[in-house]
Chain A
């Protein structure tokens, strides 16, 4: 779920000079994450401390001079760099007062932009397409610049991407209606030219945003028709520029809804792998007004958050360290945001599902269209429906199936709910196996399975759905716990999970047997502090602890699935309170059993695809104890259980306390590597504890 927080104004911006761009040339990252560098067209460059909303430094050029590109901060030399009058490169430090007195060098060609990435030398991009590192350029400013671009080719956009100490410059050009992307890599220097695909009705991309993920550059670009495309470029290119112009492969990742009005401009910036911020496009449910800042999820094509911006919005948008910088009206606003990893359930939240009509699911080219299938489901017999669904899944292309699976499932569920005799389990399983279903698409499916006591379906759903709401998880848990083991054992379950449970319980008995054979050998106490406990009572051999599984194998396998579901503590806690005391005790006993097994490393010898992790087990123990603390404290049958758990906790705390003690020593070892040499004299501060 993404959130846009309350924004604030960083600064006002000067008078509007032309229609598309206001007074801001650019916003660049400053010396640290809390500083930005704002270059405005009215001849001045200002450094702001963002959290204080205060300028910390400002420089301006003389009357008559023009700042050609946004100033950047060179983090390596701690200097600012700007270009004035197209050819004069100026470099200055934080404490230089007058820009006129700062270092300057005149270069031989027009500079388009200075690009700077953290901890690397800035790169100067010339209008002719030539690229130089700033230090080598300043070493000989008058060096001739080669013409990379043809005469009427104009650079529209450029950026720098850095990863793995490698820099890549991207810039897009326009030449007689043709748009190209150049990728300049260094070491070795290669320049690769790509052509943007053009389609009728699709003009030039209006906004670009590039990020680096893994070993690829993800370039996102926005067209005026609302399409957001993504192209993936490898970070290190094996090809050289000699291979000629390649068409840029792309995939559509978002279609922004368009309003009535014809759009003139807009901007998009990538926030993370699933989110993109957009200005200049209308809010899908707020009518024609387009003065909105929106965050869209590209995975689920959903609107995540939006904010109305007062005054005109320009097609400018920057994002630095968790904050969006949006010029609008006569000010530059800073809007902090937060993007959490989304599940579809969360992603579905904000958008009113108005346009979920057949339009989205139009291109079904199978024997049976989705609409036909749905009609059949409404009336046909179970067997027929199952066969048709199977056929449909086989014949429908994957991309279309993704959209259709949900509809089919919904329809099947709604028939099952109304018609008690209709329960196409096979069809559900087939649909689940496509992995195109999730809880949010068909929320009723899981509760239906519970009602029908179809634990197999439940198990598969638990494995596949990542977005089951906590309330539903708890309801399922309750059902599982309340079903008698005898009934449970007849259910057909995923073999892997049952084998895991079998091995886990057998590991126990095996180790017991071995223990017995060892000629009177007594295992050393599990904990060192057994001697602390009063000797007359409660002193039990830890191996005499109840190591038998308190639930049946199948129930255990299902509980394991529950343990592995995603949840958030706060949402789960109130629902956990619905469990009855016997249910809680059984579940806790089972968790204790798992914990004991795990602390004896029993699970490591078992090969299974899905096993609950020890932290999941401990988290659930904590949650259960939190939810039922008072009840467990008074219930006599829970006493022994709580006592055992307490012992485990104590041993854990002890372990971590000891680990904590080591931490300091390790840190000093780390820092002692860089032992200081201070010469003959120093005044230092030491602290004794």
Chain B
């Protein structure tokens, strides 16, 4: 079908940040994840764990705890600050410096001015009783129960130190959970999970879970299951079950152990059907509890989320430039050049190595929310929560210089998403209330042109923008799954794509047919004709026949949709593990067809291939893909971030003695 020259790039040093806290909202099925760099992400648990929203962090902003109150999300930081988030516009709403003392919190339900007895010891963890009248606090070597109204300590329960040499070390109660029946569960640095009675202040049961620390505890909503995360990377589950069948005499019993992490687990949460854990190895692991799953499906598979579901790499198609978005800076690289030709599977001689042209540090403390480079490579733009900056790039042979465009129109104060028109003459900036501002770019600077507003619908922030090749159309997708299409000539809303139950993860407008091709988090795909305002025949065929089982079972979303100008029937997609070219002229595979058939086709003759070919041409040569882009010389840029490389840059995990070592 075709050969492609591929620039295989592995020098994007993207490091995912460690996970610090998790909070699950059972009503909305959303999981909030706080990372070490202060960013907060919202995952939609029932939509294949799609990362719906990202609120970027900022320097020196450590989050220690995260909590939902209804649909409001709060976090508490090391500096004692409490922050509420604006989830619609994906930014920090406000921060209150509640106490000027460092306060380690685990769970916040609401705020009281507590005047607890003066504590000599540091409070490491806290948990409220559902009644709101009592608080359990994990401290050094002990757990205290306070009466909220009086502020007095009701009970002091001493946690045992370890035996032997660790006897001299304090026992840190890293985590406490106050159950509604009055049981207090604690996890400590000695590796014990202990159950206490708050009435008598006595130990009910103690489980030795690990030789290291028990760092995190979480109880399920109906309080019949408890998970503990350890610094070895294991998650241990306890269940509240009756010891004798049919009797009501229930006890907490250690049931399962999972090991899916290499480093400390800093946060665990039990959701409806799975245990979610995160820690220093920066991956979010969703381990389904198979006893709670009725049908085996893609949803019942172990899921590890390593990379954000947003693009961090942007290519200037026409000039061979790549923009890498790091939290605190941008890097601009020029691709290398090859010499000669090679057979498929071979590497070409690299005549010129890739070159780093620019290292652009962000002004201020906020991390970058979005960025873009224009197709011509002349413009670079980025936005943080508080500011937006536009730069013009001058490249004369080896001299690279940039000028910041000053006097930006006021509407460009901040953006949720940024996108250039294909001729680089306009910048589209997604703003509040799902609106998009248009700015024209010229030598002299930039000028506000107008604002595109949806006719109706939600005000959720836009996370995807796609402009058509001919400059006629712009499509925007927001986190309420709405896709609006605007006519750029009239600057009016043209139509809205029927809302689908799953989030749009990537979209693109076909350069010749002007059809909008959308990929959804549940791995469905749709092609919508903008001019006819309806799904195309091909799209309807796909919906009718259904996609292949193996396609649906992939567990990472497609993050880019591209088109091959030389072959209009080709749509190029990628997820973290594969690159796929959909040839719309070929028959769709049914479930009996061999789906991953590239190896088979390779071994067949030209004639036989025709009868075995189907529309999905999946290339599995690459893995840990962050970005694939087709640039104007028909070559592909594949940016990989091998997980092994990420692992080598993580801090060393706790040393464990293995047998015979």
19 pairs from A and B in contact (CB 8 Å cutoff): A664-B599, A664-B602, A667-B599, A676-B347, A680-B9, A681-B10, A682-B347, A683-B7, A684-B6, A684-B8, A684-B345, A685-B345, A685-B346, A686-B3, A687-B1, A688-B1, A688-B581, A688-B617, A689-B613
Let me know if A679 is at the binding interface, CB within 8 A.
Answer: yes
A230 vs chain B, min Cβ distance (A): 46
- Which residues of B (1-25) have their CB < 8 Å from a CB of A? 1-11
Known contacts A664-B602, A665-B599: A687-B344 contact under CB 8 Å = yes
Interface string of A655-689 (1 = CB under 8 A from B): 00000110111011000000010111111111111
Query: Are A682 and B350 in contact, CB atoms less than 8 angstroms apart?
Result: yes
Let me know if B260 is at the binding interface, CB within 8 A.
Answer: no
Bound form: Cα–Cα A664–B604 in Å: 9
Let me know if B166 is at the binding interface, CB within 8 A.
Answer: no
Please indicate the chain B residues that have their CB under 8 angstroms from the CB of A681 in the complex. 7-11, 336, 350, 353-354
Please indicate the chain A residues that have their CB under 8 angstroms from the CB of B2 in the complex. 687-688
Let me know if B619 is at the binding interface, CB within 8 A.
Answer: yes
B74 vs chain A, min Cβ distance (A): 42
A511 vs chain B, min Cβ distance (A): 34
Let me know if B183 is at the binding interface, CB within 8 A.
Answer: no
Let me know if B489 is at the binding interface, CB within 8 A.
Answer: no
Let me know if B598 is at the binding interface, CB within 8 A.
Answer: yes
Chain B residue at minimal CB-CB distance from A689: B601
Chain A residue at minimal CB-CB distance from B604: A660
Known contacts A661-B600, A688-B598, A689-B617: A683-B11 contact under CB 8 Å = no
Please indicate the chain B residues that have their CB under 8 angstroms from the CB of A664 in the complex. 599-603
Query: Are B336 and A683 in contact, CB atoms less than 8 angstroms apart?
Result: yes
Bound form: Cα–Cα A682–B10 in Å: 9
Interface string of B339-363 (1 = CB under 8 A from A): 0011111111010011000000000
Please indicate the chain A residues that have their CB under 8 angstroms from the CB of B343 in the complex. 685
B558 vs chain A, min Cβ distance (A): 17
How many A residues, CB 8 Å from partner?
A: 20
Q: Of the candidates B1, B6, B353, B602, which one forms a contact with A685 in the assembled complex, judged by CB atoms under 8 Å apart?
A: B6
Please indicate the chain A residues that have their CB under 8 angstroms from the CB of B346 in the complex. 684-685
Query: Are B603 and A685 in contact, CB atoms less than 8 angstroms apart?
Result: no
Interface string of B581-605 (1 = CB under 8 A from A): 1000000000000100011111110
Please indicate the chain B residues that have their CB under 8 angstroms from the CB of A663 in the complex. 603
Query: Are B348 and A684 in contact, CB atoms less than 8 angstroms apart?
Result: yes
Bound form: Cα–Cα A683–B1 in Å: 20
Interface string of B602-620 (1 = CB under 8 A from A): 1110000100010001010
B580 vs chain A, min Cβ distance (A): 9
Chain B residue at minimal CB-CB distance from A657: B608
Bound form: Cα–Cα A389–B281 in Å: 92
Please indicate the chain B residues that have their CB under 8 angstroms from the CB of A686 in the complex. 3-4, 6, 344-345, 619, 621
Bound form: Cα–Cα A677–B610 in Å: 34
Bound form: Cα–Cα A125–B594 in Å: 61
Known contacts A688-B619, A689-B613, A689-B617: A683-B599 contact under CB 8 Å = no
Bound form: Cα–Cα A660–B343 in Å: 23
Query: Are A679 and B350 in contact, CB atoms less than 8 angstroms apart?
Result: no
Query: Are B599 and A687 in contact, CB atoms less than 8 angstroms apart?
Result: no
Chain A residue at minimal CB-CB distance from B622: A686
Let me know if B338 is at the binding interface, CB within 8 A.
Answer: yes
- Beyond A683-B338, A685-B343, 20 additional contacts (C-beta under 8 Å) are A661-B603, A664-B599, A664-B601, A665-B599, A667-B599, A681-B350, A683-B336, A683-B348, A684-B8, A684-B342, A685-B5, A685-B344, A686-B344, A686-B345, A687-B2, A687-B345, A688-B3, A688-B4, A689-B1, A689-B602
Please indicate the chain A residues that have their CB under 8 angstroms from the CB of B603 in the complex. 660-661, 663-664, 667
Chain B residue at minimal CB-CB distance from A663: B603
Bound form: Cα–Cα A668–B346 in Å: 14
- Which residues of A (557-589) have their CB < 8 Å from a CB of B? none
Q: Of the candidates B8, B341, B353, which one forms a contact with A678 in the assembled complex, judged by CB atoms under 8 Å apart?
A: B8
A686 vs chain B, min Cβ distance (A): 5
Please indicate the chain A residues that have their CB under 8 angstroms from the CB of B4 in the complex. 685-688
> Residues of B at under 8 Å CB distance from A?
1-11, 336-338, 341-348, 350, 353-354, 581, 594, 598-604, 609, 613, 617, 619, 621, 635
Q: Of the candidates B10, B345, B348, B621, which one forms a contact with A679 in the assembled complex, judged by CB atoms under 8 Å apart?
A: B10
User: Which of A668, A680, A683, A687 has the largest count of B CB atoms less than 10 A from its CB?
Assistant: A683
B504 vs chain A, min Cβ distance (A): 26
The 8 A-B residue pairs whose C-beta atoms are closest, nearest first, are A687-B344, A664-B603, A689-B601, A664-B599, A683-B338, A680-B11, A683-B348, A688-B617
Bound form: Cα–Cα A665–B581 in Å: 20
Please indicate the chain A residues that have their CB under 8 angstroms from the CB of B338 in the complex. 683
Bound form: Cα–Cα A684–B619 in Å: 13
Q: Of the candidates B350, B581, B600, B613, which one forms a contact with A683 in the assembled complex, judged by CB atoms under 8 Å apart?
A: B350
Please indicate the chain B residues that have their CB under 8 angstroms from the CB of A668 in the complex. 599
Q: Of the candidates A665, A685, A689, which one forms a contact with B609 in the assembled complex, judged by CB atoms under 8 Å apart?
A: A689
A184 vs chain B, min Cβ distance (A): 43
Interface string of A337-363 (1 = CB under 8 A from B): 000000000000000000000000000
Bound form: Cα–Cα A423–B31 in Å: 101
Known contacts A679-B10, A680-B10, A680-B11: A685-B601 contact under CB 8 Å = no
Bound form: Cα–Cα A660–B594 in Å: 14
Query: Are A683 and B617 in contact, CB atoms less than 8 angstroms apart?
Result: no
Chain A residue at minimal CB-CB distance from B605: A660
Chain B residue at minimal CB-CB distance from A678: B347
Query: Are A684 and B599 in contact, CB atoms less than 8 angstroms apart?
Result: no
Known contacts A678-B347, A679-B10, A680-B11: A685-B3 contact under CB 8 Å = yes
B137 vs chain A, min Cβ distance (A): 49
A474 vs chain B, min Cβ distance (A): 37
Q: Of the candidates B3, B7, B600, which one forms a contact with A687 in the assembled complex, judged by CB atoms under 8 Å apart?
A: B3
B68 vs chain A, min Cβ distance (A): 42
Bound form: Cα–Cα A683–B336 in Å: 8
Chain A residue at minimal CB-CB distance from B1: A688
- Which residues of A (609-660) have their CB < 8 Å from a CB of B? 660
B428 vs chain A, min Cβ distance (A): 32
B640 vs chain A, min Cβ distance (A): 10
Please indicate the chain B residues that have their CB under 8 angstroms from the CB of A687 in the complex. 1-4, 344-345, 602
Bound form: Cα–Cα A663–B605 in Å: 13
A210 vs chain B, min Cβ distance (A): 40
B467 vs chain A, min Cβ distance (A): 27
Please indicate the chain B residues that have their CB under 8 angstroms from the CB of A689 in the complex. 1, 598, 601-602, 609, 613, 617
- Which residues of A (236-276) have their CB < 8 Å from a CB of B? none
- Which residues of A (392-450) have their CB < 8 Å from a CB of B? none
Bound form: Cα–Cα A262–B342 in Å: 61
Please indicate the chain A residues that have their CB under 8 angstroms from the CB of B353 in the complex. 681
B315 vs chain A, min Cβ distance (A): 15
Bound form: Cα–Cα A688–B598 in Å: 7
Please indicate the chain B residues that have their CB under 8 angstroms from the CB of A682 in the complex. 8, 347-348, 350
A678 vs chain B, min Cβ distance (A): 6
A681 vs chain B, min Cβ distance (A): 6
A520 vs chain B, min Cβ distance (A): 32
Query: Are A685 and B10 in contact, CB atoms less than 8 angstroms apart?
Result: no
Please indicate the chain B residues that have their CB under 8 angstroms from the CB of A688 in the complex. 1-4, 581, 598, 617, 619
Bound form: Cα–Cα A362–B378 in Å: 101
Query: Are B6 and A683 in contact, CB atoms less than 8 angstroms apart?
Result: yes
Please indicate the chain A residues that have their CB under 8 angstroms from the CB of B10 in the complex. 679-681
Chain A residue at minimal CB-CB distance from B8: A682
- Which residues of A (489-513) have their CB < 8 Å from a CB of B? none
Q: Of the candidates A676, A678, A679, A683, which one forms a contact with B5 in the assembled complex, judged by CB atoms under 8 Å apart?
A: A683
B571 vs chain A, min Cβ distance (A): 13
Chain A residue at minimal CB-CB distance from B353: A681
Chain A residue at minimal CB-CB distance from B599: A664
Bound form: Cα–Cα A71–B427 in Å: 70
Bound form: Cα–Cα A602–B161 in Å: 75
Query: Are B8 and A683 in contact, CB atoms less than 8 angstroms apart?
Result: yes
Chain A residue at minimal CB-CB distance from B620: A668
Please indicate the chain A residues that have their CB under 8 angstroms from the CB of B594 in the complex. 661
Bound form: Cα–Cα A437–B350 in Å: 69
Bound form: Cα–Cα A683–B350 in Å: 7
